[in-house]
Amino acid sequence: MSVRTSILEQFAEVAEQQDRKLLRSDDETPLAETGLDSLCFAIIVAKLENRLGVDPFSQSEDAQFPLTVGDFVAAYERALA
Amino acid sequence: MTCLWQKVRLGEGKLIGRGRTIALGDILVRDWPIPLAEKLRGSTVLVDCASALSAALALVHLDGLAQRVVLAPQGSSTEQLLHAAASAHATAVVTDKQDGAALSQLTKISVTESMAASPAAAKRDRKTEWVLFTSGSTGLPKLVVHTLETLIARIVPGDDACWGTFYDIRRYGGLVILLRALLSGASLVVAEPGEPVDSYLARVQGAGCRRLTGTPSHWRRAMMSPVFAQMDLDYVRLSGEIADQAILDKLRNRLPDAKIVHAFASTEAGLAFEVNDGKEGFPDSVLQSKSADFEIKVANGTLRLRSPGAALEVLGGGPVRDLQGFVDTNDVVRFDNGRFYFEGRRDQVINVGGDKFYPEEIEAILNRHPNVRISRVRGRKNPVLGALSEAEVVLGADGIEARHVLDELTALCAAALPQHKRPVAIRVVETLPVSQSGKLDRLHA
């Protein structure tokens, strides 16, 4: 399973657990417009760390949290490359 | 000033170790020869014994003689011993160990071999300081200074029925039980270093002992023991950690006729109060039990205590009391409908995006599940909200599939907790570490 698929699956799973509706998840969508809140993203990052063994946003002090879904996926792809 | 030696009540009481028993009367008819005792007079002495029984013997003989006694608990590392010896300016070590190269700069005096029946006991007229280890936030212990006076201030000597304690008698919780036994002429079954729970419980049972004290973690361990399943007890006491409703109920179910008490005490603040209504937390009436030298209050969310049983100071850390004489226990409490509930230690707070809570709140919910023996919750760093909580659980060996229990735990948390407090992961572990002081190890969490 590709990294992208894992991540998007996680979006859907957490949205359901948190009673949220995942509105959009294409690459251009700003994270703020996915329908998920910051608690959802906190959980997604933690669950992806369990699953993929990496948290790209805690690897360095100056790591920027991404703005769009595409940036989010790319951060994991870079970390796992 | 009456020293401990003179306060021991004689009778049938004895200290029951593993493979060795000392009658209280025999403690008193032995002493160091005068020249050895004179070496110890007015000095600062580190008590570093392999056997808890030897340490007890040393304490009775050092109070009133030494200026300061530093009690090294079982399992102290060389680094901790050197730190304690240096911080307290120790010049001698009283020990039952053969080696001891690490402390070679100290005068070494052995605790049993050099003591013989001696009618001419050395004069004991000093107000000895007792220095106890408490867990610090680093690997090095905080050194808390008491005197015999502060240690026994809140002890009410009672009958001479036998006691047991899971605590190391060289730490506050166990030391108070030891002193209570000595002052009451009661027997005490002393847990020896590294002794397995089953072995200790079997000795307690074998001694006909029906009163037992320990931390909630000690009791959760005991509940897993086949020996405990066969035991009958009259009196059960929990202190040192938050006693949640689950452990109180599990003990009540197991021992329907026992008196089950949970107490609040800490090395720095001393014994504050006991709760015996079987419920977690404590009634607000506790705050009304005020006297000239004793008062409990809640300020800035934490429990504070003014008590003759409080410690004098922390070595190198200054006074433990504020200007009004109160010790801040750093235990956060919440008031709800006539009762206070312990939330956790202030320094263990988990902060999820500004919403703060304590691990114990979530552990209490996990512990309600009948298959959960012990649980531990900790904060896990998170780049979005700073932290999230995650949990580890030890399950009972009753053949129920772990996956099934985990689903139920997730559902329990979802029903009882707001979203930000729910553990992001719950893992099954074989065991959870309990520190030397008998508390769930959160330092390395």
Task: Give me the pLDDT at residue B445, please.
Answer: 45
The Cα–Cα gap between B94 and A48 comes to 55
Return the residue of A nearest to B379 by Cα. A46
Residue B429 to chain A, least CA–CA distance (Å): 16
The CATH number covering residue A71 comes to 1.10.1200
What chain B holds in terms of domains, given with CATH numbers, is 4-152 (3.40.50.12780), 196-346 (3.40.50.12780), 349-428 (3.30.300.30)
Condensed to tens digits (0 to 9), the pLDDT of residues B135-189 reads 765 678 899 999 999 999 989 888 999 999 999 999 999 999 999 999 999 999 9
Query: First and final CA of chain B: distance in angstroms?
Result: 44
The Cα–Cα gap between B298 and B151 comes to 23
Q: How many CB atoms lie within 10 A of CB B250?
A: 18
Residues of chain B with pLDDT below 50 are: 445
CB contact under 8 A, A43 and B352: no
CB contact under 8 A, B420 and A39: yes
Range of the domain at A63: 3-80
CB contact under 8 A, B419 and A47: no
**B87-to-B84, B101, B137, B315 alpha-carbon distances in Å:** 5, 19, 17, 7
Cβ contacts of A18 on chain B, cutoff 8 Å: 419
φ and ψ at residue B124, rounded to 5 degrees? -125, 100
Say which of A18, A45, A50 has its CB closest to residue B384: A45
CB of B371 within 8 A of CB of B407?
no
CB contact under 8 A, B383 and A50: no
CB contact under 8 A, A39 and B385: yes
Task: Give me the pLDDT at residue B140, please.
Answer: 85
Q: Does any CB of chain A come closer than 8 Å to the CB of residue B418?
A: no
- Give how many domains chain A has, as a whole number: 1
Task: Give me the pLDDT at residue B137, please.
Answer: 55
CB contact under 8 A, B385 and A57: no
The Cα–Cα gap between B98 and B109 comes to 11
The Cα–Cα gap between B384 and A55 comes to 11
Task: Give me the pLDDT at residue B364, please.
Answer: 95
CB contact under 8 A, A63 and B383: yes
Say which of A39, A50, A58 has its CB closest to residue B419: A39
pTM above threshold 0.90: no
Which residues neighbour B111 within 8 Å (Cβ) at sequence distance 6 or greater?
B47, B49, B54, B55, B57, B58, B94, B95, B96
Q: Nearest Cα to B367, choosing from B227, B197, B263, B249?
A: B249
ipTM entry: 0.92
Residue A43 to chain B, least CA–CA distance (Å): 6
Residues of chain A with pLDDT below 70 are: 61-62
